[in-house]
């Protein structure tokens, strides 16, 4: 069922771009009527269950499969011995693979929780039982446990991430005020409520094999490419279907080992295979945000004006894959600083390759920087807001390019006014509410504008409806809704007349829904296709001999589903009547925005199936970013040291908002995730087995309703014509950036305790 088939009337007037529409798929989701990947009815499917390694490093000597193979209902037992390797796929950048083969099941163990075998059976229970009957003999080797393990050493420098201007060392040495501190964040996990998993189904067409994958996906075209390369199929023979996603937060953009395993099993059995990861398996099905450590040194004048920033960052990565969590990304653009030095190292440890979690880089980067700025404010006796204004960057300090738009000053002002910041007393422990210590903290955040070309098809139908089609997916962001708004506005029909098809790789192409780029680029593509379709329609109306509007004017307007002369004089004709009169079923336009990115037709496939054409925020004449300022009140129980967030006011600049209600909801979601990150979330790694001990939602804590206070979100953005076709900047990841330091700073204000490691838990506050 398409979200737009729902009987509810969502909107009356004014439902174009910028309108506060309720999300069109909302009612379906609340009623449980949306079918997620694993809910899809597929006839004759069988079930696969994975077995995971219980040691972090070494080799599998043997897996005893006899008992599992003989268990009731078992169809297939897959081990590294019995599973032939696939062809290796190119990287997400489109680089050719380094090895010719890809082993989704391997003898070599690189992390605890690595998938090492699978059992496939008629029922889930039978497969679960069979997987439990597999007996594994290992040859264990010593493991590098975590970022703190001395065996990891200082890590490998990532030179492309280094940034340097002026002379930071000399300026630091000469600075009257110096702040030096180290900040740390633990492993964090995306923990979308919908588990990872898929249904893999092989078929045949006239040319040979086809593969259909029903799997939640932030990037249908990229994942379809990977499956195609693994199995040596033409890209068109793989179909990825992902109409709804129960959250991804960065974890669902790539085809993963469990996907390969399910597809191999389905091919061997000639039956569709369903594989759902259990919650513990999700912790190593795709990596979370790696643990990070950063050493920051700020040099400043007595007044707190920055003279230098030196930053050194380390993040853990896997042994055979480099994942960078760029800790200097916010550091380099937030403040006007004449001398700067930033370096990044990755430390390989025995872990699943870490991955993308909401604002990779900017999030821990802003945590360190915005805490250090607060420390500087206290060192020089300045208000934390005043010191940020004193160091306000009027242009990008690194590239010296002008900002496209930067309404951070306005965000500070609006946030401070709504929060009542001027009523704050500066000294730590100076505000109370009975037995509670009250703390007011603030911090700024940012996220870059990323850009890739998009593609969309818009079809105006004989019944007056408008169809929009794109392989882009909606993981809860509201994409269905805003793309309908774009098409409605550009064609000239009410949103209620728009039908959207998304989340199918057979549809016109879309790049990854990541880096908060999707809304901006797809709004541009849908707008372009919809305008082209409207032009077609107008051309038909003016020139077709049977059109009632033939020759009435040079051009026509389309509004409310009716065509008329520009000033409304003369006849008006509904779209449906026009198509009927002219004998047409539809008028359609397929458009991409490649040319805007200076890409030709040859780049079409690469643009959508790799991230190699994604443009940097400083590619062009401007430096383009979204900005935000968080103001947060905490209450800390003096005796028990429990921390509650009591109030959040956040002001943000994401340019034009396509749908302010949805954009605010995105920012709130980021803030809620940030509260979890600051007070609750921590993947605890067992020092002996390098296993994440709390790999379930009972022990890995994420916020619940009771943890979340009133959150007020204020938009201060203005349309940014450089950032995107319609003037919006990214929203999805911005809200989480700066929440952790705002809370940490509030906890300092409440208690006088400066904790430099997340999460801020009561044992650390007592300790």
DSSP string of 434-464, one letter each residue? TTEEEEEEEEEEEEE--B---EEEEEEETTS
- How many whole angstroms separate alpha carbon 177 and alpha carbon 304? 8
Q: Which tokens hold the place of 175?
A: 């600075």
Which residues, numbered 435-474, are part of the site for ligand MOS (CB under 6 A)?
A: none
Cβ proximity to ligand MOS: between 533 and 673 the closer is 673
733 is catalytic: yes
Which residues from 533-552 bind ligand MOS, rule CB under 6 A?
Answer: none
Residues forming a β-bridge with 436: 433, 637
* Bond into 141 cis (ω within 30): no
> In degrees, to the nearest 5, what angle opens at C-alpha 427 toward C-alphas 424 and 429?
95
- Look-up: residue for tokens 């497969």? 127
Member of 11, 262, 318, 662 binding ligand MCN (CB under 6 A): 662
Q: Is 479 in the site for ligand MCN (CB under 6 A)?
A: yes
DSSP tag of 192: -
CB-wise, 673 or 765, nearer to ligand MOS? 673
Is the CB of 31 or the CB of 688 nearer to ligand MCN?
Answer: 31
Query: Closest distance between ligand MOS and the C-beta of residue 670, in Å?
Result: 11
436 within 8 A of 635, measured Cβ to Cβ: yes
Q: Which is nearer to ligand MOS, 325 or 653 (CB)?
A: 325
Q: Does 627 bind ligand MCN (CB under 6 A)?
A: no
Draw the binding track, 720-759, toward ligand MOS (x: CB under 6 A; -: no contact): -------------x--------------------------
Judge residue 700's burial from the number of C-beta atoms within 10 Å of its C-beta, 0-12 exposed, 13-18 middle, 19 or more buried: buried
Interface stretch with ligand MCN, choices 91-99, 245-253, 388-396, 578-586 (CB under 6 A): 245-253
Nearer of residues 202 and 249 to ligand MOS, judged by Cβ: 249
SS (H, E, C) 131-169: HHCCEEEEEECCCCCCCCCHHHCCCEECHHHCEEECCHH
User: Which of 152, 197, 216, 248 contacts ligand MCN by CB under 6 A?
Assistant: 248
Output 362 or 588, the one with its CB closest to ligand MOS.
Answer: 362
Nearer to ligand MOS, 248 or 384 (CB): 248
Q: Measuring CA to CA, how many Å separate 88 from each of 98, 237, 273?
A: 8, 18, 22
Question: Does residue 730 belong to the site contacting ligand MCN (CB under 6 A)?
Answer: yes
Cβ neighbours for 725, distance < 8 A, ≥ 6 positions apart: 520, 523, 524, 527, 528, 593, 596
Tell me the C-alpha distance between 351 and 524, whole Å. Answer: 39
Least separation in angstroms between residue 513's CB and ligand MOS is 7
Distance, in Å, from the CA atom of 531 to the CA atom of 49, rounded to the nearest integer, reads 49
244 touches ligand MCN by CB under 6 A = no
Stretch that binds ligand MCN, among 498-506, 507-515, 538-546, 750-758 (CB under 6 A): 507-515
The residue written with tokens 């306005």 in the block is 410
* 669 contact, one of ligand MOS, ligand MCN, none, CB 5-8 Å limit per kind: ligand MCN
Dihedral (CA of 245, 248, 249, 254) sign: negative
Report the residue number, 441 or 514, with the smaller CB distance to ligand MOS: 514
Nearer to ligand MCN, 511 or 561 (CB): 511
Would you count residue 610 as binding ligand MOS (CB under 6 A)?
A: no
CA gap 429, 258 in Å, rounded: 51
Please enumerate in sequence order all residues whose Cβ is within 8 A of that of 688, keeping only pairs 6 or more positions apart, or say none.
none
516 scored as a contact of ligand MCN (CB under 6 A): yes
Judged by CB under 6 A, does residue 514 bind ligand MCN?
yes
Of residues 140 through 159, those in contact with ligand MCN by CB under 6 A are: none
Spatial separation of the C-alpha atoms in residues 618 and 596, rounded to whole Å: 16
Give the residue at shortest CB distance from ligand MOS. 250
CA distances to 100, 106, 461, 624 from 48, rounded to whole Å, are 27, 17, 43, 46
Cα angle for residues 745, 763, 54 (degrees, 5° grid):
110
349 to 378: interface string for ligand MOS, x by CB under 6 A:
-------xxx-x------------------
What per-residue string of b and e applies to 425-457 under the rule 16 or more CB within 10 Å gives b? Answer: eeebbebeeeebbbbbbbbbbbbbbbbbbbbbb
Least separation in angstroms between residue 652's CB and ligand MOS is: 17
Cβ closer to ligand MCN: 288 or 478?
A: 478
Residue from the set 114, 126, 218, 607 that interacts with ligand MOS by CB under 6 A: 218
| 744 contacts 441 by C-beta, under 8 angstroms | yes
Binding flag, residue 250, ligand MOS (CB under 6 A): yes
Which one of ligand MOS, ligand MCN, none is in contact with 290 (Cβ closer than 5 to 8 A by kind)?
A: none
To ligand MCN, the closest distance from the beta carbon of 546 in angstroms equals 41
User: Which of ligand MOS, ligand MCN, none sits in contact with 360, Cβ below 5 to 8 A by type?
Assistant: ligand MOS
471 within 8 A of 501, measured Cβ to Cβ: no
CA-CA distance, 660 to 664, in Å (whole number)? 6
Q: Could you give the string, one character per residue 339-378, with x where binding to ligand MCN holds by CB under 6 A and - elsewhere?
A: -------------------x--------------------
CB of 604 to ligand MCN, least distance (A): 20
CB of residue 514 vs ligand MOS: minimum separation in angstroms?
Answer: 3
Rounded to 5 degrees, what angle do the CA atoms 628, 632, 633 make? 170
301's tokens: 């004048």
Choose, by CB under 6 A, the member of 186, 326, 520, 524 that binds ligand MCN. Answer: 520
Q: Does 514 bind ligand MOS (CB under 6 A)?
A: yes
CB of 116 within 8 A of CB of 136? yes
Q: Is 677 in the site for ligand MCN (CB under 6 A)?
A: no
Name the active-site residue from 325, 455, 733, 757.
733
How is residue 684 annotated by DSSP?
A: P
Closer residue to ligand MOS, CB minimum distance, 285 or 494: 285
Identify which of residues 326 and 520 has a Cβ nearer to ligand MCN in the complex.
520
Half-sphere exposure of 443 (CA within 13 A, CB side): 37
- Binding piece for ligand MCN, criterion CB under 6 A, among 156-164, 202-210, 347-355, 517-525: 517-525
Is residue 659 a contact residue for ligand MCN (CB under 6 A)? yes
From CA 277, how far away is CA 726, in angstroms rounded?
39
Backbone angles phi, psi at 764, to 5 degrees: -70, -35
Query: Is residue 478 a contact residue for ligand MCN (CB under 6 A)?
Result: yes
CB of 586 to ligand MOS, least distance (A): 34
228: left (phi over 0), alpha (psi -120 to 50) or beta: alpha
**By CB under 6 A, residue 669 contacts ligand MCN:** yes
Q: Among 515, 520, 717, 738, which residue interacts with ligand MOS (rule: CB under 6 A)?
A: 515
Please report whether residue 658 would count as binding ligand MCN according to CB under 6 A. Answer: yes
Q: Which two tokens stand for residue 708?
A: 């979340």
For residue 628, the partner it binds in ligand MOS, ligand MCN, none, with Cβ less than 5 to 8 A by kind, is none
Q: What residue 760 binds from ligand MOS, ligand MCN, none (CB within 5 to 8 A, per partner kind)?
A: none
253 vs 742 by CB, closer to ligand MOS: 253
Binds ligand MCN by CB under 6 A, chosen from 361, 655, 674, 683: 655
> What is the set of active-site residues?
733
Binding region for ligand MCN (CB under 6 A): 192, 247-250, 358, 475-479, 482, 513-520, 654-659, 662-663, 666, 669, 728-733
Binding region for ligand MOS (CB under 6 A): 218, 250, 253, 356-358, 360, 514-515, 733
């Amino acid at each position: 069922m398409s979200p737009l088939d729902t009987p509810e009337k969502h909107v009356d007037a004014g439902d174009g771009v910028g309108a506060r529409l309720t999300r069109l798929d909302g009612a379906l989701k609340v009623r449980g009527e949306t079918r997620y990947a694993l809910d899809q009815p597929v006839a004759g499917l069988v079930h696969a269950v994975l077995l995971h390694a219980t040691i972090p490093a070494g080799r599998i000597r043997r897996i005893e499969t006899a008992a599992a193979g003989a268990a009731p209902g078992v169809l297939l037992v897959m081990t590294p011995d019995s599973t032939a390797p696939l062809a290796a796929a190119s990287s997400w950048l489109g680089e050719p693979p380094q090895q010719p083969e890809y082993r989704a099941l391997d003898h070599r163990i690189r992390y605890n929780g690595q998938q090492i075998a699978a059992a496939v059976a008629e029922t889930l229970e039978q497969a679960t039982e069979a997987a439990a009957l597999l007996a594994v003999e290992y040859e264990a080797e010593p493991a590098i446990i975590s970022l703190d393990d001395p065996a990891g050493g200082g890590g490998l420098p990532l030179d492309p991430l280094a940034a340097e201007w002026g002379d930071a060392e000399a300026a630091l040495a000469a600075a009257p005020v110096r702040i030096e501190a180290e900040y740390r964040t633990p492993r964090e996990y995306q923990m979308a409520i919908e588990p990872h998993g898929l249904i893999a189904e092989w078929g045949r067409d006239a040319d040979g094999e086809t593969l259909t994958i029903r799997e939640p996906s932030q990037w249908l075209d990229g994942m379809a490419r990977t499956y195609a390369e693994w199995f040596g199929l033409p890209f068109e023979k793989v179909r990825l279907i992902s109409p709804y996603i129960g959250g991804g937060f960065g974890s669902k953009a790539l085809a993963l080992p469990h996907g390969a395993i399910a597809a191999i099993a389905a091919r061997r059995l000639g039956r569709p295979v369903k594989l759902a990861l259990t919650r513990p398996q999700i912790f190593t099905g795709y990596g979370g945000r790696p643990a990070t450590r950063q050493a920051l040194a700020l040099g400043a004048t007595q007044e707190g004006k920055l003279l230098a920033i030196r930053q050194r960052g380390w993040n853990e990565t896997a042994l055979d894959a480099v994942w960078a969590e760029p800790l200097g990304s916010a550091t380099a653009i937030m403040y006007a600083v004449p001398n700067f030095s930033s370096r990044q190292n990755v430390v390989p440890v025995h872990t699943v390759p870490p991955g993308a979690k909401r604002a990779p880089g900017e999030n821990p980067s802003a945590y360190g920087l915005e805490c250090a700025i607060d420390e500087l404010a206290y060192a020089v006796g300045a208000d934390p807001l005043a010191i940020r204004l004193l160091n306000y960057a009027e242009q990008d300090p690194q590239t010296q390019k002008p900002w496209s738009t930067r309404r951070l000053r306005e965000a500070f002002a609006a946030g401070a006014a709504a929060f009542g910041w001027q009523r704050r007393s500066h000294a730590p422990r100076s505000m109370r509410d009975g037995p509670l210590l009250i703390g007011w903290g603030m911090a700024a955040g940012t996220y870059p504008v990323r850009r890739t070309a998009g593609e969309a098809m818009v079809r105006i139908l004989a019944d007056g409806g408008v169809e929009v089609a794109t392989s882009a997916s909606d993981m809860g962001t509201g994409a269905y809704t805003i793309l309908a708004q774009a098409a409605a506005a550009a064609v000239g029909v009410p949103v209620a007349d728009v039908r959207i098809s998304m989340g199918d790789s057979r549809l016109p192409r879309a790049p990854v829904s990541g880096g908060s780029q999707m809304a901006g680029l797809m709004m541009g593509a849908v707008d372009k296709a919809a305008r082209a379709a409207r032009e077609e329609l107008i051309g038909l109306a003016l020139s077709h001999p049977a059109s009632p509007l033939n020759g009435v004017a040079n051009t026509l307007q389309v509004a409310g589903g009716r065509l008329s002369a520009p000033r409304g004089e003369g006849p008006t004709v509904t779209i449906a009547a026009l198509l009927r009169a002219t004998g047409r079923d539809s008028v359609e336009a397929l458009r991409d925005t490649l040319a805007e990115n200076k890409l030709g037709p040859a780049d079409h496939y690469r643009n959508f199936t790799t991230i190699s054409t994604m443009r940097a925020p400083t590619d062009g004449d401007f430096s383009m970013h979204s900005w935000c300022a968080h103001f947060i009140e905490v209450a800390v129980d003096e005796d028990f040291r429990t921390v509650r967030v009591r109030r959040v006011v956040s002001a943000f600049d994401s340019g034009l908002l396509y749908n302010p209600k949805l954009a605010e909801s995105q920012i709130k979601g980021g803030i809620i995730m940030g509260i979890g990150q600051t007070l609750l979330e921590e993947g605890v790694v067992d020092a002996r087995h390098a296993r994440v001990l709390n790999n379930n939602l009972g022990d890995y804590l994420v916020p619940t309703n009771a943890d979340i206070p009133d959150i007020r979100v204020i938009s201060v953005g203005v349309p940014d014509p450089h950032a995107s076709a319609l003037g919006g900047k990214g929203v999805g990841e911005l809200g989480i950036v700066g929440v952790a330091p705002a809370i940490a700073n509030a906890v300092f204000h409440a208690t006088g305790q400066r904790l430099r490691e997340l999460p801020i838990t009561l044992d650390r506050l007592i300790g």
